[in-house]
Chain A
Amino acid sequence: MIERTPILNIATHAILVFGLLFLLLPLYLVIVAASHSLQDVVAVPPNLLPGDQLWINLQAAWAKGHLGERFVTTFIVAMGVMTGKIVLSCITAFGIVFFDHRLKMPIFWLIFITLMLPLEVRIVPTYAVAANAFLPFQTLLDLSGITWVINAVSGVEVKLEWNLLNSYAGLIMPLIATATGTFLYRQFFLTIPEELVEAAKMDGAGPVRFLWDMLIPLSRTNIAALATIMFVYAWNQYLWPLLVVTDQSYAMIAVELSRLVPKFTATGGEVPKWHIAMAGTLIVMLPPIVVVVAMQRWFVRGLINTDK
């Protein structure tokens, strides 16, 4: 600011550099391990400089984990979560903010509460729903007695079934069922001046026209922020795909990565192929890092506004 603080400046840089090193050191060690052969990785004293095997290891990891196919699957899921979330949050927030009806606040709270319990906490019953997505509706029908009525009248037993295991829908939909994006949009829509709505109405624009021609162009930054956050979130999913997917062709990349080395508890056997595993780790890390660094400005703002 105003004073000259040469010593403190040096200390500041020292602290920040130390922090950077703490954050970068694991990445460096991963790169080093990924660029040696297995013998060199487990050699004593350890190699602390990158070797020349990086490309070979990357190729080996790529082939061993079928990462090409996994990339495609993961990319499809990430895109699905991204667009699904953006579209849903946008129209939901629109329906809540720009209309006046009695159910406004109850609906808002119904969606708001979903922020409280992340998927991990309700994982077991959500899995049951994924096995049959119509289960909730079947239960409703059963409890309300409609199943019985239909059966008595027409003799047809109502049995709704829609299995989401091993499908993109099963991977994507539960990840969309939270309020994060809806909030970001609601906050933004509340800042839209009333006059804009009035002007649109005066010019004869209906709600859909207003949404499409005014709100969506205005919310470009929002979209960029949400897209970045959702891409990273979906790309990095681990627990949910681990459960829903048993068919290899739908496996996601983070799950595949964890299979490159045997579980921690497994004793004996051969030495884990660390060089391949670390090369795989590098490959899996790369896309979200690129996205986050490139979209830094928008994503930081979005993250802070959604509080998540």
Chain B
Amino acid sequence: MRRAYFKNNWVAALMVAPQLIIVFTFFYFPTSQALYWAFTLEQPWGGGNTWVGFDNFAAILGDAYYWDSIWVSIVYAIGSTALAVIMALTLAIFADRQLAGYKLYRVGMIWPYAIAAPAVGLAFRFIFTPGAGLMMFINQMFPDLWNPVDNGTQAMGMVIVAGAWKQVAYNFIFFLAGLQSIPRSLIEAGAMDGARVLRRMRDIQLPLLAPTFFFVLVINITDSFTDSFGIVDTMTAGGPSRATDLMVYKIFNDGFQGLDYSGAAAQSIILMLLVIALTFVQFRYIERKVHYT
């Protein structure tokens, strides 16, 4: 289909130029720079970088700490995603029944989207601290039951809960929108055929929600890899003994605290490949996004 166009391409160039310059400066150049660093090593006394091939990658992949970090990231990704997706889906599918108080429920589910990761982290760190409030009370009844400062599993648990809490609102918005784009007539037809509410949820709404579900799932996993810095930094700072040292956090630490740019760049490249792979999966599902009209 031909559209009507304006002829003056100089105007078009002017319109597009600022964005292209910014994207080149802050996206393409840094990304290529990461590649360059990942394959080179900076000389200790200046004098440029020398080409080292895959040495940086070999060093990282031979580092047990890095594998720990990958493992921890996967645990966090699965834990927080499962919790946030299941919770949001349940809430959305019942909120979608639009009983009395629907609008109130909706606002109540959406507002956490607005909260900054460090604020979430700090709030949950307080809630879970063994030094105050509820947890201190529980510890007095059952001594040493809860101590995330020493216990890595417990620390990971509280980071997962905080991460999931932060994500529920976002997922809820998408699930609710997905549910509302299912034509009313389908559900009415189901009702006429004698399918009750729960049956309609299981056999009509959930299957038709599948594309949204996959989309949300992938976004959650990607976000858990990239967007977890604020929560980890404020809650556990990667501790105790690296039990919550997620990949993003390790890149930050190695790069800016350890000043190992090449190592951090190589880790960035690995994380980038991971995120790109996930994004491809996601785009496949977006393309297949079903339109019900």
Contact = CB atoms under 8 A, between A and B. Distances in A.
Interface of A: 1-3, 5, 8-9, 12-13, 15-16, 19-20, 22-24, 26-27, 29-30, 33, 41-42, 44-46, 88-89, 91-92, 94-96, 98-101, 107, 110-111, 114-118, 120-129, 133, 135-137, 139, 173-174, 176-178, 182, 194-195, 197-198, 201, 206-208, 210, 232, 235-236, 238-239, 243, 254-255, 257-258, 260-261, 263-265, 267, 271-272, 274, 277-278, 281, 284-285, 288-289, 291-293, 296, 300, 303-304, 307-308
A281 B23 contact: no
Interface of B: 3-6, 8-9, 11-16, 18-20, 22-31, 33-34, 37, 87, 90-91, 94-95, 97, 99, 101, 105-127, 129, 131-134, 136-137, 140, 149, 165, 168-170, 173-174, 177, 187-188, 191, 196-198, 215, 219, 226-227, 229-230, 233-237, 239-240, 248, 251-252, 255-256, 261, 264-265, 268, 271-272, 275-276, 279, 286
A285 B261 contact: no
Given A110-B23, A117-B31, A285-B116, A30 B111 contact: no
Nearest to A97: B3
The interface residues of chain B, by DSSP majority, are classed as helix
25 contacts: A2-B188, A16-B105, A20-B109, A29-B126, A30-B123, A42-B133, A42-B136, A46-B134, A46-B137, A95-B15, A95-B16, A98-B3, A99-B9, A117-B272, A117-B276, A118-B275, A120-B227, A121-B272, A123-B252, A136-B29, A207-B6, A236-B114, A265-B236, A274-B126, A289-B115
Q: Which 4 interchain pairs have the tightest Cβ spacing?
A: A95-B15, A236-B116, A136-B29, A99-B12
A122 B95 contact: no
B132 A41 contact: yes
A205 B234 CA distance: 54
B119 A12 contact: no
A100 B276 CA distance: 30
A6 to B, nearest CB: 11
Contacts of A182: 19
A124 B261 contact: yes
B109 A125 contact: no
B11 A99 contact: yes
A201 B5 CA distance: 9
A124 B255 contact: yes
A24 B168 CA distance: 12
Contacts of B14: 95
A293 B268 contact: no
Contact of A88 (B19, B168, B170, B226): B19
Nearest to B274: A121
Contacts of B251: 123-124
Contacts of B265: 124-125
A44 B113 contact: no
Given A22-B87, A23-B112, A271-B131, 20 more contacts: A2-B191, A3-B191, A12-B94, A13-B99, A20-B108, A23-B169, A88-B22, A91-B19, A92-B15, A117-B272, A118-B275, A120-B227, A124-B261, A129-B25, A136-B29, A177-B26, A254-B118, A274-B129, A274-B132, A289-B111
A120 B248 contact: yes
A254 B174 CA distance: 26
Which of A122, A137, A278 has most chain B Cβ within 10 Å? A122
Given A124-B264, A284-B116, A9 B31 contact: no
A124 B268 contact: yes
Contacts of B117: 236, 238, 254
A33 B133 contact: yes
A121 to B, nearest CB: 5
B271 A121 contact: yes
A49 to B, nearest CB: 13
B197 A8 contact: yes
Contact of A300 (B110, B196, B230, B276): B110
A127 B124 CA distance: 30
